[in-house]
Amino acid sequence: MSTSAISDRELAAMTVSEAAAYWFVRRDSASMAADDELRFREWLGASATNRSAYEQTESMWSGFVDAADEGELRALRVAALAATRAPRIWPRAVALAATVLLSIALAAFIGYRVSQPHSSGSIATSTSRYATAHNQRSTITLSDGTVVSMNLDTVLDADFASGRRLVHLVRGQAYFDVAKDEARPFIVAAGDEQIQALGTQFDVRLESNRIEVVLVEGRVRVDPGAGTATDTKSLQRRPLEMIPGQRMVVTPGAAAKLTNTNAVKATSWREGWITFEDETLENAIAELNRYSEQPLVAEGEDLKRLRLSGVFRIGQPERFGTLIGEILPVAVVQVPGGETRLIANSGHKMERRP
């Protein structure tokens, strides 16, 4: 085994994404011994989940190879490879560093590429686009000092032309820590809504049929959009002012719903946690599956309608299944390939299906 390789035990302690990034960086270094190549092949063939994670990592890197120049590629590769040459203190931390550095390098390159001013012919605009992949979270700082935490699969455009600060949330979820500037209100456009703030912190989530705003600090005003709204109720609705600890939800054909919430828990996705308050098991699973490469599946309509409350770690479906089995009449079935199924409890806390 080559000196910089890790043990089978250390490899088994990694998440699938960490292991995929580790093997990708090791193989890219062109210094991997033959026995390590054999170990990689064994890991790759062990499950469809392993293969999918590695192919996804390869695909992401290939996209940048096609777009980047030689200098940019060299800089990104050096940053990622440096992680595997770190001292052997905590092997999993080294692998995690490889994952993080590779992700940061690729994310930084995405940010650089997509945030260049868009142009049409010889006329340039001031709009900058930022995006995250379906399995990536990122934090960016806009030109005015506003810090934006972007959740998975999020796209936003920032336009600070003509003395304004306008961010268009195209899709996904973002948390805004707005820099104070009384002369320039900060506006987030999401669907048919416009959220205006002055020096505040709030979270906006845009789905195909739902917009959610959570106010953590300060004050915001939510206005029905005048440009794209087609819903009569939205057009007739008066602006709503929110105070910290409130959640506003807007859906087509219904009046905006304003409720009290624990804003810190509601935005805990930024720290890797997710909170459910009297949520159906079906909705909880759908939310958790956004963050996991190993899906959870609930079998049976009665099971899906069960309700739960709690705080759970993102990206740990097996752990979630184990905890749910303690508080609900649910048994957990592990299926080859990584899927975790929840079924009506037949008297066993945990079952293994061949």
DSSP states of 178-202: PPP-TTS-EEEEETTEEEEESS-EE
Residue ranges, CATH 3.55.50.30, the chain: 272-352
Structure tokens at 89: 């203190």
Q: Which residue has the higher pLDDT, 268 or 123?
A: 268
Closest by alpha carbon to 24, among 95, 93, 110, 91? Answer: 95
Q: How many CB atoms lie within 10 A of CB 62?
A: 10
pTM for this prediction: 0.61
What are the distances in angstroms from CA 75 to CA 80, 112, 201?
A: 9, 14, 35
Per-residue pLDDT band at 213 (split at 50, 70, 90): very high
Each residue's pLDDT tens digit, 78-128: 444 444 444 443 444 444 445 544 554 454 444 444 444 443 333 334 688
Question: Alpha carbon of 27 to those of 21, 90, 229: distances in Å?
Answer: 10, 21, 51
pLDDT reading at 75 higher than 80: no
The per-residue pLDDT for range 232-267, each reduced to its tens digit, is 444 456 788 999 999 999 988 788 899 999 998 899
Of 211, 258, 221, which is closest to residue 241 (Cα–Cα)?
221
pLDDT tens by residue, 5-34? 667 777 777 777 778 777 877 776 555 778
Architecture category of domain 125-265 in CATH: Sandwich (2.60)
Residue ranges of the chain assigned to CATH 2.60.120.1440: 125-265
- The CATH number fitting domain 272-352, selected from 1.20.140.10, 3.40.50.300, 3.30.1330.20, 3.55.50.30: 3.55.50.30
> CB–CB of 216/208 below 8 Å?
no
pLDDT at 172 over 90: yes
Q: Which residues are CB-contacts of 178 (< 8 A; sequence separation ≥ 6)?
A: 146, 186, 197, 198, 199, 200, 201, 202, 218
Q: Is the pLDDT of residue 225 over 70?
A: no
| 315-337 per-position pLDDT tens digit | 888 788 888 888 888 888 888 77
